Amino acid sequence: MDLRDDILRHVRGEVRGVQARVEALRPFSTTVPMAPAAAPSPRVVAAMDRHLSSRRRELRRECEAFLAWLDSADAQRVPPASLQRRYTLLKLRFGAILEHLDIFADALVQRAQIRNGLWLSGLDRVAEDGLSVLRAFDPPPLLCHLDRGHGAAIRRATTRLPGGHSNPVSIVRIPRERMVGGGVAGSLLHEVGHQAAALLDLVAAARRMLELRGRSGRDGAVWKVFSGWASEMLADLWALGHLGIAATTGLIGVLSLPAPLLFRVSPDDPHPMPWLRVKIGCAFGRALLPDPRWDRMEAMWEAMVPRARAKADSGAFIARMEPHLPELSELLAGLPIPLAGGRKMSDLLPLEDSAPTSGEAAWSRWKARPEAMVEAGPCRVLAAMGLARFDGDLEPRDETRILEGLLERWALESSLTTPSVRDGAPRLGRAA
């Protein structure tokens, strides 16, 4: 037996090995154990399984075509190095499928963890509520999971997975340090805002508007910077429109960083300067949800992190940008959305539910009748709780305990349809 026979036998065996491993991949619906209430929505699991099944069929066909080609006369003439390159490309495509599986599995396996699984299922419900105003746009299925790190992140639906395929679900990563407390809502709704912006093509529309404003005056450099921040500012605006005060208090929690980081100016960073980002949040609040609390929050931030701690160049940058924040807020609140029939951002967001006056009234009712919290939409509840926390009417330990109960109840509601799901209520009052 000559060298070419050895090479062909080896490559054929390797391809058949890939075939065998592809056949061994099983759908998540048959392999991931979890309590029914902790399970993600059927849409999530179905979308992931369809995606992996499609990639598996594609690779199976490629393996069969490769094996048929190895038996052809053409393969006998190809140099051994070319055979190896072709096999290597096939193996890389198999590796991409495994990366897709790992991305999905990393999020799914946490559903089997006691308590974490239920909380994540409850957060799925919150995320879905954050896209409920876009039902006409058929928002993608959402899946939350926990990970290390300080900030949340999202792998949006339709973005590219390894290998170039389109992601079938929207996967939101929540930092463990955000769980469980009021701050999780702001982080989650910010990431949901990124998905909403993609569905509505908001970033391109906002950048066009901001760049046009910059060309109309002598402060063009300022508006160019705002344009570069458009994606993150729109996500913050989406969170604020759903959560009100809670969105910006959550942002302050995330941005509790050393002063050098808060005042750092990074020209290529899509995020606003951290210190200025809180100021932008307060400006958004005044534009969308007028209330004296925004002045209190801004004064609190200025006192906790005085601008005097900024270096000269950062201080000069703040001085250039800050006077334009009211106009920036009015422009983004009034941003016309072509894909939504020209409706403005302020018309699309559920501002009646997130307004401080509404939250105050709701919290007053819920203290007397806490079971009504279960009947309200998740974002509305979290907005009212965040407001009560800011006003000192809700202790942090009580907030965490109540939120744990609500997440578990929302998870149950997602898995069951019987009236008994709503029996009982989260307890209000000081924790023991």
Per-residue pLDDT of 240-249, as tens digits, reads 999 999 999 9
In-domain check, residue 377: yes
Give the pLDDT of residue 1: 54
- Enclosing domain of residue 97: 3-112
Q: Which tokens hold the place of 308?
A: 């005097």
36 and 68 in a single domain? The answer is yes
Give the pLDDT of residue 349: 97
278 and 247 in a single domain? The answer is yes
In-domain check, residue 428: no
Structural domain ending residue among the three candidates 352, 367, 398: 352
In-domain check, residue 135: no
337 and 400 in a single domain? The answer is no
Give the pLDDT of residue 422: 37
Residues ≥6 apart with Cβ < 8 Å to 291: 245, 285, 355, 356, 357
Cis peptide before 180 (omega within 30 of 0): yes
Task: Give per-10-residue mean pLDDT for the chain (432 aa).
Answer: 80 86 82 83 91 91 91 86 89 89 88 87 95 93 87 92 91 84 88 97 96 90 96 98 96 89 92 96 97 96 94 96 97 95 94 95 92 90 95 91 90 63 43 35
| Domains contained in the chain, number | 3
In-domain check, residue 244: yes
313 and 408 in a single domain? The answer is no
Burial 184-195 (b: 16+ CB within 10 A, else e): bbbbbbbbbbbb
400 and 338 in a single domain? The answer is no
- DSSP code of residue 166: B
Structural domain ending residue among the three candidates 293, 321, 352: 352
In-domain check, residue 234: yes
Give the pLDDT of residue 429: 42
286 and 362 in a single domain? The answer is no
91 and 234 in a single domain? The answer is no
How far is residue 359's CA from residue 352's CA, in Å, rounded to a whole number? Answer: 9
Give the pLDDT of residue 419: 38
Give the pLDDT of residue 351: 96
Q: Could you tell me which of 133, 241, 236, 141 has the C-alpha nearest to residue 190?
A: 236
Q: Phi, psi (5° rounding) for residue 170? A: -100, 120
In-domain check, residue 31: yes
Residue that the structure tokens 């939250």 belong to = 359
Give the pLDDT of residue 256: 85
Give the pLDDT of residue 189: 97
In-domain check, residue 430: no
247 and 337 in a single domain? The answer is yes
- Which residues, listed in sequence order, are joined to residue 344 by a DSSP beta bridge? 336
Structural domain ending residue among the three candidates 295, 325, 352: 352
Give the pLDDT of residue 334: 97
- Which residues, listed in sequence order, are joined to residue 261 by a DSSP beta bridge? none
263 and 328 in a single domain? The answer is yes
Residues ≥6 apart with Cβ < 8 Å to 130: 188, 189, 192, 193, 196, 238, 242, 379
302 and 282 in a single domain? The answer is yes
249 and 387 in a single domain? The answer is no
DSSP annotation string for 31-51: T----GGGSPPHHHHHHHHHH
Structure pTM? 0.87
218 and 335 in a single domain? The answer is yes
Give the pLDDT of residue 2: 80
In-domain check, residue 191: no
Q: What share of the chain is helix, strand, coil (3-state, %, to 5)?
A: 70, 5, 25
